[in-house]
Amino acid sequence: MFDINHQLELSKRRTFAIISHPDAGKTTVTEKMLLLGKVIRTSGTIKARGNGKYAKSDWMNIEKQRGISVTTSVMQFTYKNILMNLLDTPGHEDFSEDTYRILTAVDCCLLVIDAAKGIEDRTKKLMNVSRLHNTPIITFINKLDRDSREAIEILDEIEKELNLSCIPITWPISCGKNFKGVYHIYDKMFCLYKKNVIKKVNFFDSNSLTDFFNEFSLKEHIGTDLYIQWHEELKLVTHVYPEFSKKKFLEGDVTPVFFGSALSNFGINHVLESLIKWAPSPVYRCTNIRKVEPEEKKFTGFIFKIQANMDLKHRDRMAFMRIVSGQYRKGIKLRHVRIKKDIIVSDAFSFLAGDRFSIENAYPGDVIGIHNHGTIKIGDTFTEGEEIKFLGIPSFAPEVFRRIFLKNPLQQKKLKKGLFQLSEEGAIQIFCPITNNSLILGAIGILQFDVVIERLKVEYQIDAMYETVNIALARWIRSKKEKSISDFLNKNKSCLALDGSNQLIYLAPNKANLDIIKNIYKNIFFDKTREQ
């Protein structure tokens, strides 16, 4: 059962995503990681906004027009012999349900915060999703080269807003024009900041004569006032914050915190080291029957994303699978559990943003892409024969809504077909109200509505339009008692619809309405997520 090679492959892997509010620096952090991983050689390869050059991840037209990252890309790089799977998440205001679902496919998250802004709206939403699974979080406080808020104030905010205890691992020495670097509290080492130059010096370490940095020269370097201030702060920090505990981190209770400036590639190495040292190697996943451990020999995996048009020439759809156990080998026979069919996977891909590479082998924690000829849906399980279904890859209640209608009403059937197919990719959801024939679309970010209109036009030759609709929230309806559901249905028909899987959903005009309804119907569950 125990296979030493398999074990070695597991111990070499880390699978993580970056959580941040738009503009906090996710793309820049990603780019510096790829630089340190030697995947790219110069900055600007990943992002090139507004200058006519496009980033590797910008392969959709709409993405190019707006210069933002609409789709989620997967990047693999090696740092100090550890294979990092970084699942990138759309970071603009307009993002999609994919962003949420990505967080169900990783084992760890890197939270990037702008030091001048602190916790912002999008961060909170994403963190709520990642907290559903108690995913371990590493925090990087970015842009210290700019004027920032007090470090302690930011940590307080994280603790209060995200309900997550902070353990600073590095501590900044001032910020903005005065930013001198960080002190690594655990390594007892200074990393002195000079734009794009990183100099590491051990503090009072007489063993390392070349790096020897005594109190005098440190004072000279950062100035006496800053030295005294830093010294006072450090005393306070080491007094106030408890010792870092890997166990508590893995349980999702505490987050190690690092400071730096992604733009100057300062502090990113600390984050990578922490991923190596503390982030979990691939972890188990639950199914409807049992837990599946990554050490198991037989292959299992689940689909968390479907991406269309990755290669416009071929109009293909790619299903992204997170491997949970076993090993992918080219030509492997897999059971597609939902449709009860065996398939031979003769070609699977790994990705670097828009580029794809055919692969021979892959292990737990890796994400592989397989061709989808319309039979694969988000949430599908693949095994080497076992009839199980992975749980925890849900649909999330949409946050914005539109009614869609046709310029040419004769195309209604075609429109429905197109919308159902697009909704299977998981970026939008379609709802059919039970009292009329209209079609409502729901999404997590409004950009998805533009993407749908564009794709209906290009892929289905349908001209459609939107009108606003008085819906603010959606909740799936569930009850242990049949009768409660039918009572509820009879009295609230005008707000009820069926989703793409024929599940009842309540579409509330506002939060007050939802609160009142919840209060009246105590036997009904109003779910924010639904298992696929």
Residues placed in the known binding site for GTP? 20-27, 88-92, 142-145
Please answer whether residues 458 and 464 qualify as being in contact, where contact means their C-beta atoms are separated by less than 8 angstroms.
Answer: no
Smallest distance, Å, CB 25 to ligand G4P?
Answer: 4
22 binds ligand G4P (CB under 6 A): yes
71 binds ligand G4P (CB under 6 A): no
Among 14, 16, 17, 28, binds ligand G4P (CB under 6 A): 28
Beta carbon nearer to ligand G4P, 95 or 328: 95
* # residues contacting ligand G4P (CB under 6 A): 18
27 binds ligand G4P (CB under 6 A): yes
Number of helices (H) and strands (E) in the chain: give both, helices first.
Answer: 14, 33
Among 6, 13, 14, 26, binds ligand G4P (CB under 6 A): 26
Site string for ligand G4P, 81-100 (x = CB under 6 A): ----------x---------
At which residue do the structure tokens 């933002």 appear? 68
CA distances from 128 to 275, 278, 283, 379, 400 (A): 21, 22, 20, 20, 18
Report d(CA 494, CA 507) in Å as an integer: 9
Report d(CA 524, CA 527) in Å as an integer: 9
Please answer whether residues 14 and 85 qualify as being in contact, where contact means their C-beta atoms are separated by less than 8 angstroms.
Answer: yes
Beta carbon nearer to ligand G4P, 257 or 321: 257
261 binds ligand G4P (CB under 6 A): yes
Phi then psi dihedrals of residue 124, to 5 deg? -60, -45
Among 60, 111, 154, 262, binds ligand G4P (CB under 6 A): 262
Query: SS3 for 271?
Result: helix
Please answer whether residues 244 and 254 qualify as being in contact, where contact means their C-beta atoms are separated by less than 8 angstroms.
Answer: yes
301 binds ligand G4P (CB under 6 A): no
113 binds ligand G4P (CB under 6 A): no
Among 145, 380, 425, 527, binds ligand G4P (CB under 6 A): 145
Beta carbon nearer to ligand G4P, 190 or 259: 259
In this chain, which stretch among 138-146, 315-323, 338-346, 431-439 interacts with ligand G4P, using CB under 6 A? Answer: 138-146
In this chain, which stretch among 34-42, 228-236, 259-267, 334-342 interacts with ligand G4P, using CB under 6 A? Answer: 259-267
Q: Under rule CB under 6 A, which residues in 159-198 are in contact with ligand G4P? A: none
Q: How far is CA 155 from the centre of its chain?
A: 22
In this chain, which stretch among 141-149, 291-299, 302-310, 482-490 interacts with ligand G4P, using CB under 6 A? Answer: 141-149
In this chain, which stretch among 22-30, 178-186, 288-296, 492-500 interacts with ligand G4P, using CB under 6 A? Answer: 22-30
Site string for ligand G4P, 422-451 (x = CB under 6 A): ------------------------------
Beta carbon nearer to ligand G4P, 91 or 136: 91
Please answer whether residues 76 and 103 qualify as being in contact, where contact means their C-beta atoms are separated by less than 8 angstroms.
Answer: no
> What distance separates the 2 farthest-apart alpha carbons in the chain?
83
Residues near 210 by beta carbon (within 8 Å), at least 6 away in sequence: none
Sequence-ordered strand ranges (E) for 13-95: 13-20, 74-79, 82-87
143 binds ligand G4P (CB under 6 A): yes
CA distances from 518 to 6, 112, 480, 515 (A): 50, 36, 15, 5
Query: SS3 for 356?
Result: strand
Here the tokens at position 53 are 């050059």
H or E element at residue 453: helix 447-460
267 binds ligand G4P (CB under 6 A): no
Which residues contribute to the site for ligand G4P (CB under 6 A)?
20, 22-28, 47, 49, 91, 142-143, 145-146, 261-263
